[in-house]
Amino acid sequence: MRRRIFLKTLPASAILLSRTAFADDDLLPLIGRVDAFVLEDQTRVVLELDGACPLDVRPGPPPQVVLKNALYLPVEDSRQLSSGPVRSYRIFTPSDEGYKTILEFDASTGSHVTARMVGDPPRVIVDVLGPALAPRIAATSPEMARLEAEAREEAERLRQRSSDGRLGLRIRNIVIDPGHGGHDPGAVGLKGTKEKDITLALSRLLAARLDRAGFGRIALTRTDDYYLNLSDRTAVANQYGADLFVSIHCNANENRKAVGSETFFCSEQASSAEAARVATFENSFAEPEELARQESLVDIEWVLFRLQRKLLWKDSGRIAADVQEALKTGFPVRSRGISSAGFFVLKKARMPSVLVETAFISNPDEELLLAREQAQERLVETLAAKLAAYAS
C-alpha cells in the first residue's frame, strides 16, 4: 500500500514575504511543497518549484540530491519515515555553499538515487530504490538516462502540441495487448468460444501485419495463454517506450441480441451508461491489490502527469475515432461508435491508448464470426491499414 506524507506546504503569502529577504536574488526558484510516497522497496520525494534549476546527484554516503540556485525558505526541515528504503531525510540550505538546497537521505546500504525535473511549473522527482531494486537500475543506468532524456523531449512535444491544437502523431512502436489470458477466460460465448483465445489470435495476426507495414518495434503484452494483471500490461507499454497501446477485446452483454464493434479511450468520467458498464466489466478482472493501489495512486498521478495525461487522452480519442471509422467500413458488424470511460488498463499508459471491442462474443452470430480465420484476417487488415497512416 502506498501512503502519502505531506512534509511542508508554504502558503503563497509566506513565499512572497520570505522572498523579499532575498531581494538581490529574487529570480532564484523557490521550493514550495515537498511530498513523500513510500513503497516497500522504493521511496519517492516530489518537490514543487516555481522555476527550473540544475540538479546534481551525490551517491554518498549519505546520498544527496543538490538543487543548485534553488532556495528552501524554511532553511531546514526533516522527516522520519516508517517504511521503505529511506529511514529519514532532511532538506536544508547550507550556509557555506552558496545558493543551493540539499535533499539528504538516511537510506539502506546499497540504495540507488535518481533525480529528474519534469513539467511546467517544474517538479523534481527523486526516487530512492532499495537494495533489491538498485542493482537492476544501476546496471542499466545509461539506458535510464536515455529514457529520462526521451521523457523530457516528450513533455516538450506535448506542450508544443497543446499550443497549436494539432495531433501531429507519428507512431513507430506499438504494444498490442491481447485481453485476458490464463485462468481469466474473459467473456465466453454460447458455443464455448473464449475471449482470451480470440484476442490472442487477433493480436498475433495484427502484430505480424504491422511488422510488415514499416513500423519500428511491435510487441505483445502476452504471447501465449497465460495470465497478466491489468497494471502489468500497461507497464509493458511504458517500459517498451511505445507510441501507441492497443488493447484487444470482445464485448459481451446479458442481452444476446447486442451486436457491433466499439472503440474506447480513457477518461475520468464515462461518456455514457453503456461505456461505464463496459469499463466496469473489464475492470472487474483487476486483482484486489491493483484496485487498492489505484485508489492510493490517484493523487500522485494527477500531480505528476495531469497535463500529459489530458493531452494523451485527447490524442487517444482521435485515434479511437479513426480506428472505429475503419471498422465501420471494413468489418461486417454494426458500428457502435467511440466511447470513453475509466479503463484501468489504459489509465497509466504514457502514450495514446485505445481499447477495441471487436464484436459481441455473447451474440451467437458474432461469436461464429470472431472464430473464423477469414473474418479475423479481415479485421486485422482493417485495423492495420488505418494505423499505417500514422507510420508515414
My answer on whether 69 and 179 are in the same domain is no
My answer on whether 95 and 188 are in the same domain is no
pTM of the model: 0.57
My answer on whether 299 and 255 are in the same domain is yes
pLDDT bucket at 15, cuts 50 / 70 / 90: very low
My answer on whether 79 and 179 are in the same domain is no
CATH number at residue 373: 3.40.630.40
CA-CA distances (angstroms) from residue 357 to 19, 150, 300, 338? 55, 32, 30, 10
Structural domain tally of the chain? Answer: 2
CATH number at residue 135: 2.60.40.3470
Does 160 map to a domain?
no
pLDDT at residue 20, rounded to an integer: 37
Quote the CA–CA distance of 348 and 172 in Å, as a whole number: 20
My answer on whether 118 and 244 are in the same domain is no
My answer on whether 130 and 196 are in the same domain is no
Percent of the chain with pLDDT strictly greater than 90:
32
Choose one of 97, 118, 150: the last residue of a domain: 150
Query: Tens digit of pLDDT for each residue in 17-46?
Result: 333 333 334 467 888 888 887 766 778 888
pLDDT at residue 59, rounded to an integer: 84
pLDDT at residue 357, rounded to an integer: 95
My answer on whether 141 and 206 are in the same domain is no
pLDDT of 341 above 70: yes
pLDDT of 265 above 70: yes
161/187: higher pLDDT: 187
Does 35 map to a domain?
yes
pLDDT at residue 305, rounded to an integer: 52
pLDDT of 2 above 50: no
Q: Could you tell me how many residues make up the chain?
A: 392
Q: What is the 3-state secondary structure (H, E, C) of the chain?
A: CCEEEEEECCCHHHHHHHHHHHHHHCCCCEEEEEEEEECCCEEEEEEEECCCCCEEEECCCCCEEEEECCECCCCEEEEECCCCCEEEEEEECCCCCCCEEEEEEEECCCCEEEEEEECCCCEEEEEEECCCCHHHHHHCHHHHHHHHHHHHHHHHHHHHHHHHCCCCCCCCCEEEEECCECCECCCECCCCCEHHHHHHHHHHHHHHHHHCCCCCCEEECCCCCCCCCHHHHHHHHHHHCCCEEEEEEEECCCCCCCCCEEEEEECCCCCCHHHHHHHHHHHCCCCHHHHHHHHHHHHHHHHHHHHHHHHHHHHHHHHHHHHHHHHHHHCCCCEEEEEEECCHHHHCCCCCEEEEEEEECCCHHHHHHHHCHHHHHHHHHHHHHHHHCCCC
My answer on whether 7 and 122 are in the same domain is yes
Does 155 map to a domain?
no
Q: Which domain holds residue 55?
A: 3-150
My answer on whether 182 and 278 are in the same domain is yes
Does 227 map to a domain?
yes
My answer on whether 201 and 66 are in the same domain is no
Query: Tens digit of pLDDT for each residue in 177-221?
Result: 999 999 889 899 999 999 999 999 999 999 999 998 888 889 999
My answer on whether 225 and 365 are in the same domain is yes
Does 164 map to a domain?
no
Choose one of 150, 183, 207: the last residue of a domain: 150
Does 167 map to a domain?
no
